[in-house]
Structure 1
């Protein structure tokens, strides 16, 4: 049925006679649609388990590991974290059999580890990824993959040389919502893209990076010297360790944490390499707690015309001031309508002018003739695609994509090239904000202009 609908829409687009959402293509009674069928498991029938290690056992590392272990034939062997308390917690969660250490290089030396999850603070992503690839490990690295654009090609080169499978953790790339939006855009459901916008807010207090500082978090339980060894030397500061996203030495601000998800989704849906001009404004409006990054950020971006898409503009905003909504969305606006895209849902909205493109309505008007207006059956103005309830989620599918590629020597949805092209404009938002200027970027060759 899905193939027939897709083929039908393509035929309609070829004739130019009807909008993608017509009464024929999408009956009124079928407005509530399921997205593509839930992907139960990506794993092949292989009895050999993938031996996994976690490097960075904080909030995201824990969620990543839990998602990974939902797959069959995956075993957690070791955990690394600079805070001993997380190592104790890891054994409580996943078993006393775990090898635990505060030195990630001890993880990479082990022959019984096939793959690593890297969920450290951003300033360690590059080095640990490169070291892991050089050690022959497959890598799952949390976004934004690098701490600055100058690090991107080093990771890409190490990955290409290694022959290993590396995926970047912007999990929305593996979501049903993004996949459906990509399909709809290619079918011409909303016409040609002209504009896109995204929004992300987080709930307080932890949603504003006010992460818990444990009572035993001190220099005896945290390897502070190792943590800051690749950046500025400072005296022990528990906030800089446990609330690292607030500080530029270790994190990448709101854009590196949240904009990068929106870039990843947009680039996946549109097949874009990224913007050529970047600008950002914002400010520290509410969280006056010593942080160095804004809590309100607005970004604007020029996307040049390519073989894949026409030129368009993008607007992104992120807000920690209200801290209440926990809302995220990506809206793609085309010449015929728009799509609101979430990981589990796509809402298509059509322009009013679409009605006049319907050949049925045009023909009826011709046959009726005369000056007296007559009521018509109108096409739906809004169409909602929703994930099936048994869908296991984007995190699950993203790990499944990685594990399948490891087992089959295949490809992943978000390799380091894709990951860097999504990370670069997010990181350059910070440069634009702090330098108070436009940033020119070459998205094809992945370098500053």
Structure 2
């Protein structure tokens, strides 16, 4: 705590600006002398954002796009060039020799199979979170990754943020003491935030390959809502926890080095969006983290609300024995609950020279310290792809490999299971299996 308090002293004076979080200490930039050709499989909202971010890096080119809706394929050529190879069959992309890596932005129920097929075909993989659609898929992806020797990165980009990195450093330094509790909150109040995605007028069986879309799940007649608003349905999506809790698990596990909880429970309900969806719009999760080599035991509370009339906020709070941290991707706020005298040796020496009385008041470090990113920071999403491309070019580890990603996805997916089965679920975070 003394070291952390000392680090806080410079902002003890009124009017001082928040302390800037330095640019990445981990080198996420990679030499761009090796050109990488990439393809996008799933060109919806997140897949397109991923590709736009990936293309901000030097010597990275897009050569192909796969999607099951004609409108997205047409849009891909408008956004990224007439040269693109377009298809509705992802296996045609995997056969191409000119593709080094694929970005997978499909609905969750296709993540496992496309990832495995891509690595078996010799492609590096960037797959959107959650890595899998159910916990029983995790081992297959991990085994395929180990066997392939390829790089696989999962897309919970907050792990690559300066905010996460600074929080990890502060916790290790003892800035808030020993962790005993954490909580996270994700709230939205907008049509898009509630997964009311646009359904195009020409979205029909002539423009959508519905049979391919449902080929690995329940056979149903064509339903444009199940295709374009897939997050609302369990056959294709993973609910609020698979979409949003997984981000919070990823950040928490990175900051604390945790392997995950051993007990999961959840409650919630459909409070507002009664539009035929199968998943709740309010979800509360409770998780127990056991004593481990990485950290003492603690409890985690996660909340998600799609009916938030205040427009809500997103944060992760980590509480320790001496203080707390509010962690965002571009900011960390440290709050302490103890008044600690400055340990500046110069101040102590001056006090002795003056012969100060023992009860003379001392200058104190602040009880709140704000760290913000420096201007010009390109963001967690950019750094996440930088890490991915560097791993490919230099054969080094990524920050979010399939093992780490599965340990973040599993408790999120089990949160759904707890909600729908109305029971506690026990999980072995070390061996990554149900108990």
Aligned to 2:271: 285
Verify the 8 A CA contact 1:83 1:222 in the aligned structure 2.
yes
Contact 1:43 1:72 in 2 (8 A): no
1:322 maps to 2:308: yes
Kept after mapping to 2: 8 A contact 1:39/1:397 = no
Structure 1 Cα separation of the partners of residues 215 and 84 of structure 2:
26
1:205 aligns with 2:194: no
* CA–CA separation in structure 2 for the residues paired with 1:358 and 1:107: 62
- Give the alignment partner of residue 205 of structure 2, picking from 219, 239, 263: 219
Alignment of 1:231-270 (within 5 A): 231-270=217-256
Partner residue of 2:182?
196
Counterpart Cα distance in 2 of 1:42 and 1:334: 30
Aligned equivalents of 2:39, 2:70: Cα separation in 1: 16
Matched, 1:447 2:433: yes
1-side partners of 2:425 and 2:84: how far apart?
46
Pairing 1:355–2:340 present: yes
Once the two structures are superposed, what CA deviation does each residue of 1:397-427 show, in whole Å capped at 9, x if it has no partner?
Answer: 0000000000011110000000000000000
Counterparts of 1:19 and 1:164, CA distance in 2: 41
Per-residue deviation, 1:368: 2.3
Q: Which residue of structure 1 aligns with residue 293 of structure 2?
A: 307
Identify which of 83, 94, 107 aligns with 2:93.
107
Number of equivalences:
429
CA distance in 2, matches of 1:156, 1:407: 21
Q: What is aligned with 2:71? A: 85
Deviations 1:216-256, CA, capped at 9 Å, x for gaps: 00000000001001110000000000000000000000000
Q: Displacement of 1:78 after TM fit?
A: 0.2
CA contact (8 A) 2:339 2:367 kept: no
Is the contact between residue 19 and residue 336 of structure 1 (CA under 8 Å) also seen in structure 2?
Answer: no
Q: Deviations over 1:181-236 (max 9, x none)?
A: 00000000111111000000123111000000000000000000010011100000
Q: How far apart in 2 are the matches of 1:59 and 1:322?
A: 23
Other-structure match for 1:346: 332
Q: Judge conservation of contact 1:34–1:385 (CA < 8 Å) in 2.
A: yes
Structure 2, unpaired ranges of 5+: none
Provide Cα deviations, 1:126-157, integer angstroms capped at 9, x if missing partner.
Answer: 00000000000000000001000000000000
- Separation in 1, partners of 2:187, 2:99: 37
Work out which of the residue numbers 126, 129, 133 in structure 2 matches 1:140.
126
Q: Give me the whole-angstrom Cα distance separating, in 2, the residues matched to 1:369 and 1:410.
A: 56
Normalised to the residue count of structure 1, the TM-score between the two structures is 0.91
CA contact (8 A) 1:19 1:354 kept: no
Structure 2 Cα separation of the partners of residues 44 and 399 of structure 1: 10
Contact 1:201–1:323 (Cα < 8 Å) also in 2:
no
Q: Which residue of structure 2 aligns with residue 20 of structure 1?
A: 4
Identify the residue that residue 160 of structure 2 maps to in structure 1.
174
**Residues in 1 aligned to 2:348 and 2:420: alpha-carbon distance in whole angstroms:** 55
Give the C-alpha shift of residue 283 in structure 1.
Answer: 0.5
2:280 maps to 294
- State the 1:377 CA deviation: 2.4
Pick the aligned partner of 1:387 from 373, 380, 400.
373
Conservation of the 8 A alpha-carbon contact between 1:31 and 1:383: no
Distance 1:274 1:20, change over 3 A: same
What are the within-5 Å matches in structure 2 for residues 267-278 of structure 1?
A: 267-278=253-264
Superposed structure 1 runs of 4+ greater than 4 Å apart: 22-27, 38-41, 356-367
CA distance in structure 2 between the aligned counterparts of 1:271 and 1:45, rounded to whole angstroms: 29
- Match of residue 357, structure 2, among 360, 364, 368: 368
CA distance in 1, matches of 2:30, 2:131: 28
- Report the Cα distance in structure 1 between the residues aligned to 2:344 and 2:383, rounded to whole angstroms: 41
Offset, 1:48: 3.0
Q: CA deviation at 1:379?
A: 1.7
Give SS of 2:127's match: strand
Provide the alpha-carbon RMSD of the alignment. Answer: 2.1
TM-score by length of 2: 0.94
Q: SS at the partner of 1:53?
A: strand
Equivalent positions of 1:59-78 (< 5 A) are: 59-78=45-64
How many Å separate the matches in 1 of 2:201 and 2:212?
Answer: 21
Q: Which residue number in structure 1 is paired with residue 81 of structure 2?
A: 95
| Residues 283, 297 of structure 1: 8 Å contact kept | yes
Rounded to whole Å, the distance in 2 between the matches of 1:45 and 1:384 is 33
- The Cα of 1:24 is off from its aligned counterpart by 7.1
User: Contact between 1:121 and 1:244, CA under 8 Å: does it hold in 2?
Assistant: yes
What residue is the counterpart of 2:387 in the other structure?
401
* Partner Cα separation in structure 2 for residue 224 and residue 251 of structure 1: 16
CA distance, structure 1, for counterparts of residue 396 and residue 9 of structure 2: 36
Contact 1:38 1:390 (C-alpha < 8 Å) held by counterparts: no
